[in-house]
Structure 1
Amino acid sequence: MASAPGHVRVRPYMDSDAGITRSIFLQSVTLTAAEDYTKQQIDAWASPQDRPLDEWNRDRQESGTLVAVVAGVVMGFTDIRETGYIDMLFVSPKFVRRGIGSALLREAENRARIAKAPLLYSNVSITARPFFAHHGFVEVAEQHPIIHGVQVKNYRMNKHLF
């Protein structure tokens, strides 16, 4: 399958993307991030019981979600708010390191620039930290949020745009 960044098409989220994007999120957390987090942390973070499809769909619609498509298959997604906040950026574990995340981040940055957001910022997992650093984000704080009573380490990272 062609998977070079030039073959990635990034488009706005549609209602029909709800199931696949939720699946990508859950697989990314439970498989990809499992190298950096304990089972208890993964279970709290993924919490599929808290993500009914109708609520997931509404949240994606309200968050400016974009999806990455290669050969008609959704392989990843990101959210970008007009403020420059990236809530989620996940790529299917089957398709990591093929330019999908980079294509999503480029489009998110383009949209943030159009909205005149002064910076991109996100709360980034241990797993995603090197990816964001590679794309010019700088760590500004180590954080320890509590999710369902479980402490999960992440990093606040920023990238100034102007």
Structure 2
Amino acid sequence: MRMRAFQSSDINQMVSLFYETIHAVNARDYTEEQLNAWAPQDEMDAKLIKWKDSFVRNITYIAETNDEIVGFGDMTRNGYLDRLFVHKNFQGQGIATALMNKLESEARKIGLTKIETEASITAKPFFERRGYQVIEPQTIERKGITLINFKMSKRLISE
């Protein structure tokens, strides 16, 4: 696996990875109705444009194996972890850990002392193992459907 910075040409693979992963991996914790509200197929084209802009602004890393994107993560410059996704066929191989190690290291380099995120039910145990604390559970609404996630944060210690 190779880790590298985001390039604009990555966006199609990243959006596809997001949709496929949500509908496959998160299906163990959310209903089909919730998954369709969270990652509706009819929003893919809009995400290509909107996400590309935010990936350029944010600190964004790609995990790649054999020229295939197998994971990605991005964080704002003020420490909000926006997205962290690993391809449905590459779960449990340390990709999310490698991405988070890189993002947390970058956060320290720019002087951040804390990272915050909103973790799904599925991702919550991963973040807890990394030292993230639940601030509060949240009920969010997407397309009239409610979903549970968790506002979480981690204090960064200098390396």
State the TM-score, normalizing by the size of structure 2.
Answer: 0.92
Gaps of 5+ in 2: none
Spell out the pairing of 1:14-33 with structure 2 (5 A cutoff): 14-33=7-26
Matched, 1:70 2:61: no
Aligned residue for 1:149?
144
- Separation (CA, whole Å) in 1 of partners of 2:50 and 2:130: 31
Contact 1:27 1:93 in 2 (8 A): yes
Per the TM alignment, residue 62 of structure 1 is displaced from its structure 2 partner at its CA by: 2.4
Give the 3 Å change call, closer, same or farther, for CA 48–62 of structure 1 in structure 2: farther
Aligned residue for 2:53?
58
Contact 1:113 1:161 in 2 (8 A): yes
Per the TM alignment, residue 73 of structure 1 is displaced from its structure 2 partner at its CA by: 2.1
- Separation (CA, whole Å) in 2 of partners of 1:50 and 1:138: 31
Contact 2:75 2:81 in 1 (8 A): yes
Spell out the pairing of 1:116-131 with structure 2 (5 A cutoff): 116-131=111-126
Per the TM alignment, residue 23 of structure 1 is displaced from its structure 2 partner at its CA by: 1.0
Q: Which has the higher strand share?
A: 2
Task: Please give the secondary structure, in 2, of the residue aligned with 1:67.
Answer: strand
Contact 2:133 2:153 in 1 (8 A): yes
- Separation (CA, whole Å) in 1 of partners of 2:73 and 2:98: 10
Per the TM alignment, residue 136 of structure 1 is displaced from its structure 2 partner at its CA by: 1.1
Q: CA RMSD in A?
A: 1.2
Per the TM alignment, residue 50 of structure 1 is displaced from its structure 2 partner at its CA by: 2.3
Contact 1:81 1:112 in 2 (8 A): no
- Separation (CA, whole Å) in 2 of partners of 1:59 and 1:50: 16
Structure 1 counterpart of 2:52, which letter? N
Matched, 1:106 2:101: yes
- Separation (CA, whole Å) in 2 of partners of 1:60 and 1:139: 26
- Separation (CA, whole Å) in 2 of partners of 1:127 and 1:115: 29
Aligned residue for 1:3?
none
Gaps of 5+ in 1: 1-7
Structure 2 counterpart of 1:125, which letter? S
Instruction: Write out the 4+ residue segments of structure 1 that deviate beyond 3 Å after TM superposition.
Output: none
Provide the aligned length of Structure 1 versus Structure 2.
155
Contact 2:58 2:77 in 1 (8 A): no
Task: Please give the secondary structure, in 1, of the residue aligned with 2:153.
Answer: strand
Per the TM alignment, residue 40 of structure 1 is displaced from its structure 2 partner at its CA by: 1.0
